[in-house]
Structure 1
Amino acid sequence: MQFTHTAPPPPPLHPNGHGLGLGLYLDVGATRGGGGARPWSSSSSTTTLGGSGYFPSSAAASKISLGNLNSTGCMEQLLVHCANAIEANDATLTQQILWVLNNIAPADGDSNQRLTAAFLCALVSRASRTGACKAVTAAVADAVESAALHVHRFTAVELASFIDLTPWHRFGYTAANAAIVEAVEGFPVVHIVDLSTTHCMQIPTLIDMLAGRAEGPPILRLTVADVAPSAPPPALDMPYEELGAKLVNFARSRNMSMDFRVVPTSPADALTSLVDQLRVQQLVSDGGEALVVNCHMLLHTVPDETAGSVSLTTAQPPVSLRTMLLKSLRALDPTLVVVVDEDADFTAGDVVGRLRAAFNFLWIPYDAVDTFLPKGSEQRRWYEAEVGWKVENVLAQEGVERVERQEDRTRWGQRMRAAGFRAAAFGEEAAGEVKAMLNDHAAGWGMKREDDDLVLTWKGHNVVFASAWAPS
Structure 2
Amino acid sequence: MTQFTRSAPAPPPLHPNGVGLCLGMDASKPSLSRSRPWPGLPVSSSKSLGSLNSVNYMEQLLVNCANAVESNDATLAQQILWVLNNIAPPDGDSNQRLTSAFLRALIARASKTGSCKMLTAVAARADADLALHVHRFSAIDLASFIDLTPWHRFGYTAANATIAEAVEGVPAIHIVDLTTTHCMQMPTLIDLLANRPEGPPLIRLTVPSLTTTAPPPPMLDMSYDELGSRLVNFARSRNVAMEFRVIPSDPSDAFDSLIEQLRVERLVSEDEAVIVNCQMLLHYIPEETVGAIATTMSVNSPTLSVRKMFLEALRGLEPTLVTVVDEDADFTESDLVGRLRSAFNYLWIPYDTVDTFLPRGSEQRRWYEAGVRWKIGNVIAQEGLQRVERVEPKGRWAQRMRAAGFRSAGFTEEVAVEVKSMLDEHAAGWGLKKEEEELVLTWKGHDVVFAAAWVPC
Q: Is the counterpart of residue 320 in structure 1 residue 312 in structure 2?
A: no
Question: Which residue of the other structure, out of 347, 358, 366, is the alignment partner of 2:351?
Answer: 366
Give the distance between the partners of 1:160 and 1:229, measured in 2 at CA.
24
Q: Is the counterpart of residue 333 in structure 1 residue 333 in structure 2?
A: no
* 1:84-95 correspondence runs (5 A): 84-95=67-78
2:234 aligned partner: 250
2:118 aligned partner: 139
Specify the SS of the correspondent of 1:308.
helix
1:462 aligned partner: 447
Deviation at 1:280, TM superposition (A): 2.0
Q: Is the counterpart of residue 419 in structure 1 residue 419 in structure 2?
A: no
Give the distance between the partners of 2:221 and 2:239, measured in 1 at CA.
28
Question: Which residue of the other structure, out of 56, 68, 92, is the alignment partner of 2:51?
Answer: 68
* 1:102-113 correspondence runs (5 A): 102-113=85-96
- Counterpart code for 1:262: V
Give the distance between the partners of 2:439 and 2:431, measured in 1 at CA.
10
2:6 aligned partner: none
Deviation at 1:265, TM superposition (A): 1.0
1:154 aligned partner: 137
Give the distance between the partners of 1:259 and 1:400, measured in 2 at CA.
34
Q: Is the counterpart of residue 392 in structure 1 residue 371 in structure 2?
A: no
Deviation at 1:183, TM superposition (A): 0.6
TM-score (norm: length of structure 1):
0.85
Q: Verify the 8 A CA contact 1:187 1:288 in the aligned structure 2.
A: no
Q: Deviations over 1:383-437 (max 9, x none)?
A: 1001000000100111121111011011110000000000001111110110000
1:205 aligned partner: 188
Specify the SS of the correspondent of 1:238.
coil
1:8 aligned partner: none
Q: Verify the 8 A CA contact 1:24 1:64 in the aligned structure 2.
A: no
Q: Is the counterpart of residue 171 in structure 1 residue 154 in structure 2?
A: yes
Deviation at 1:230, TM superposition (A): 3.7
User: Taking structure 1 as reference, are residues 145 and 23 closer, same or farther at Cα in structure 2, changes over 3 Å only?
Assistant: farther
Q: Verify the 8 A CA contact 2:175 2:203 in the aligned structure 1.
A: yes
Q: Verify the 8 A CA contact 2:252 2:285 in the aligned structure 1.
A: yes
Question: Which residue of the other structure, out of 265, 284, 295, is the alignment partner of 1:301?
Answer: 284
Q: Deviations over 1:233-287 (max 9, x none)?
A: 11112111110110000001111111101111121111111111111222332x3
Q: Deviations over 1:12-67 (max 9, x none)?
A: 4439xxxxx987867xxxxxxxxxxxxxxxxxxxx53675xxxxxxx75x6423x3
Question: Which residue of the other structure, out of 213, 226, 248, is the alignment partner of 1:264?
Answer: 248
User: Taking structure 1 as reference, are residues 143 and 415 closer, same or farther at Cα in structure 2, changes over 3 Å only?
Assistant: closer
Question: Which residue of the other structure, out of 97, 100, 104, is the alignment partner of 1:114?
Answer: 97
1:37 aligned partner: none
Unaligned ranges ≥5, structure 2: 1-10, 16-32, 296-300
1:191 aligned partner: 174
Q: Verify the 8 A CA contact 2:104 2:122 in the aligned structure 1.
A: no
Specify the SS of the correspondent of 1:214.
coil
Give the distance between the partners of 2:56 and 2:414, measured in 1 at CA.
41
1:36 aligned partner: none
Q: Verify the 8 A CA contact 1:426 1:453 in the aligned structure 2.
A: yes
Specify the SS of the correspondent of 1:284.
coil
Give the distance between the partners of 1:95 and 1:144, measured in 2 at CA.
17
User: Taking structure 1 as reference, are residues 22 and 409 closer, same or farther at Cα in structure 2, changes over 3 Å only?
Assistant: farther
Deviation at 1:135, TM superposition (A): 3.7
Give the distance between the partners of 1:394 and 1:63, measured in 2 at CA.
33
Give the distance between the partners of 1:22 and 1:422, measured in 2 at CA.
60
Specify the SS of the correspondent of 1:403.
coil
1:220 aligned partner: 203
- Counterpart code for 1:362: L
TM-score (norm: length of structure 2):
0.87
Q: Verify the 8 A CA contact 1:24 1:50 in the aligned structure 2.
A: no
Deviation at 1:362, TM superposition (A): 0.4
Q: Is the counterpart of residue 126 in structure 1 residue 118 in structure 2?
A: no
Percent identity of equivalent pairs = 65
- Counterpart code for 1:292: I
Deviation at 1:299, TM superposition (A): 0.3
Give the distance between the partners of 2:37 and 2:454, measured in 1 at CA.
50
Unaligned ranges ≥5, structure 1: 1-10, 16-20, 27-46, 52-58
- Counterpart code for 1:159: L
Cα root mean square deviation, aligned:
2.2
Give the distance between the partners of 2:247 and 2:197, measured in 1 at CA.
32
Deviation at 1:90, TM superposition (A): 2.1
Give the distance between the partners of 1:393 and 1:143, measured in 2 at CA.
16
- Counterpart code for 2:40: T
Deviation at 1:92, TM superposition (A): 2.3
Q: Verify the 8 A CA contact 1:346 1:358 in the aligned structure 2.
A: yes
Q: Deviations over 1:344-371 (max 9, x none)?
A: 0111011110000000000001111111
Q: Deviations over 1:429-461 (max 9, x none)?
A: 110110000010000000011212100000000
Specify the SS of the correspondent of 1:361.
helix
Give the distance between the partners of 2:112 and 2:407, measured in 1 at CA.
44
Question: Which residue of the other structure, out of 233, 254, 258, is the alignment partner of 2:217?
Answer: 233
User: Taking structure 1 as reference, are residues 291 and 88 closer, same or farther at Cα in structure 2, changes over 3 Å only?
Assistant: same
Specify the SS of the correspondent of 1:222.
strand
2:339 aligned partner: 354
1:431 aligned partner: 416
User: Taking structure 1 as reference, are residues 69 and 219 closer, same or farther at Cα in structure 2, changes over 3 Å only?
Assistant: same
Specify the SS of the correspondent of 2:190.
helix
2:395 aligned partner: 410
Give the distance between the partners of 1:23 and 1:296, measured in 2 at CA.
52
User: Taking structure 1 as reference, are residues 76 and 401 closer, same or farther at Cα in structure 2, changes over 3 Å only?
Assistant: same
